[in-house]
Amino acid sequence: MTSLLLDHIGLLVTADPSAGDGPVGTLSDAALVVNDGKVAWIGPRASAPDADHWVDAAGGCVLPGFVDSHSHIVFGGGRSAEFAARMAGQRYTAGGIRTTVAATRAAPDADLEARARALADEALAQGTTALEIKSGYGLSVADEARCLRVAGGLTSETTYLGAHIVPPEYSERPDDYVALVAGEMLDACAPHARWADVFCERGAFDSDQARAILVAARDRGLGLRVHANQLGPGPGVRLAAELGAASADHCTYLSDGDVAALADSGTVATLLPGAEFSTRSPYPDARRLLDAGATVALATDCNPGTSFTSSMPFMIALAVREMRMTCEEAVLAATAGGAAALRREDVGRLGVGTRADAVVLAAPSYVHLAYRPGVPLVRAVLRGGEVVAGRYHRTP
C-alpha cells in the first residue's frame, strides 16, 4: 500500500460546506494524503504527514475530480455539417440522431472502442474522473448490447438508452419498438447497465411509452434517468420525479409544477448547457431550480449531434455566464451535484474516505474556471490516487 502527499495546495475545494470555508468548503495552504486510492488525511500543509510519493500542486487550486453524469460517447461518424447548417440558421430536430445510428451500426467494434476511449481520455485530461456513458445509437438488440459493452470497458456508470428514438425500421409501428426496448432488448442490455434512460420528448417517446420502459427497467434492477423537457414543455420531468429517478436531464422548459416536483422528489436536475450552446437554444434557468431547493448537476451531454464537447470546465463557464449560477454553485454542480445524480457518495467531494479523485489547476482559484474560459487550466488529474493526466512535479 503506497501513500502519496499532494502538497502545496493554495486553495483546496472539498465541495463539502461543512469541511471548510464558504459554500464550497475551502481550506487555504493545504495538503492532502492518499492511501490505497482514498483520501486519508486533509489539513494544513505545515502539519502534513510524510508519504511515499510527493506531488506538488505549486500553489494552485485543487478540486474534486469532475463528475460528468451524462454522456453519449459511444458512436460512429460525425455531424459537423449538421452543426454548420444550424449555425447558418437551420433548427435542431431529434431526427439527426438517425444519422448517427446508421454510422454506429456500420462501425466495427474496434472503431467504436477506440473513439469512445479517446473521448473518455479527452474528458479525463480536463478533470473528469467519473463519467456516465449511455448507449442509444445502436437501437437494435445486438447494437445496444454492443455499445453498452464498449461503455462498460470505460466506466461502471453505464446507461441503457434503447429508447433514444424510434429507429427507421420501426417508424410505422412504434409500439412494437417500445415492447422490444422493454423486453428482449432490456434482457440483452441489463447485464451491462447500471441505469436506464428514456428520451421523453415530442418526436421521441411519449409519457406512456416512457413509463412502460422505465418501469420494466426498474423491475430488472436498473436505476432510472430521464431525458426530459429539452426541446419544449412536456411530461418527462414529472415522470422522473414520480418514478423516483436519480436524475431528470436537460430541464430546459419547466413549469412551476415541474420545479416543485424536482425539489420535493430529490430527483436531481441535470443541466446540459453544451446542448443549448450547440443548438443555439435558450439556456435552462438554474437560478429558479436552486432557489426552489432542487439539487442541480452540470454535465456535458457529450454527443455528436447537440454537444460535441467533453469539457466540464466549459460547462462551468457557461453555467456562470449564461445560467445565473454563482461560481460556487457551478463548481458544486459539476462535482457533488454530478455525484448526487449518480447516487454516489465516494466521488464528487474530497474528504477522508472518499476516492482520491482530484483536479490540480494552474490557477489560484476555482473562479478561474469561469473567469478564464477556454484556457487549459488543468495542470494534473488524480484518479484513485494515481496521477493519470497532466503536467506535474513528482519526486519519489
Q: Which is nearer to ligand NIG, 8 or 227 (CB)?
A: 227
Q: Give the Cα separation of 101 and 44 in Å (integer).
A: 52
| 301 binding ligand NIG? (CB under 6 A) | yes
Binding mask 337-366 for ligand NIG (x = CB under 6 A): ------------------------------
Q: How far is the CB of 199 from ligand NIG (least distance, A)?
A: 5
7 CB contacts (<8 Å, ≥6 apart)?
31, 45, 48, 54, 55, 56, 57
Taking CB atoms, the residue at the shortest distance from ligand NIG is 305
Among 301, 328, 329, 357, binds Fe ion (CB under 5 A): 301
Binding mask 171-200 for ligand NIG (x = CB under 6 A): ----------------------------x-
**Per the structure block, which three cell numbers stand in for 80?**
459537423
* Contact map string, positions 62 to 101, toward ligand NIG, x by CB under 6 A: ----------------------------------xx--x-
Q: How many residues bind ligand NIG (CB under 6 A)?
A: 12
Question: What's the closest the beta carbon of residue 177 comes to Fe ion, in angstroms?
Answer: 19
Distance of closest approach, residue 227 Cβ to Fe ion, in angstroms: 6
Q: Restricting to residues 302-321, which ones interact with ligand NIG according to CB under 6 A?
A: 303-306
Residue 132 sits in the site that holds Fe ion (CB under 5 A)? no
Question: Comparing C-alpha atoms, which of 64, 52, 90 is closest to residue 9?
Answer: 64
* Residue closer to ligand NIG (CB basis): 100 or 295: 100
Closest by CA to 129, choosing from 246, 205, 258, 39, is 39
Using CB distances below 5 to 8 A depending on partner kind, what does residue 230 bind out of ligand NIG, Fe ion, none?
A: ligand NIG
Find the part of the chain contacting ligand NIG (CB under 6 A) among 123-131, 299-307, 353-361, 387-395: 299-307
Burial of residue 359 (number of CB atoms within 10 Å: 0-12, 13-18, 19+) = buried
Q: Does 16 bind Fe ion (CB under 5 A)?
A: no
Partner that binds at residue 199, options ligand NIG, Fe ion, none, CB closer than 5 to 8 Å by kind: ligand NIG
Binding mask 247-286 for ligand NIG (x = CB under 6 A): ----------------------------x-----------
Q: How far apart are CA 252 and CA 396, in angstroms?
A: 49
Q: Which residues bind Fe ion (CB under 5 A)?
A: 301
Q: Which residues bind ligand NIG (CB under 6 A)?
A: 96-97, 100, 199, 227, 230, 275, 301, 303-306
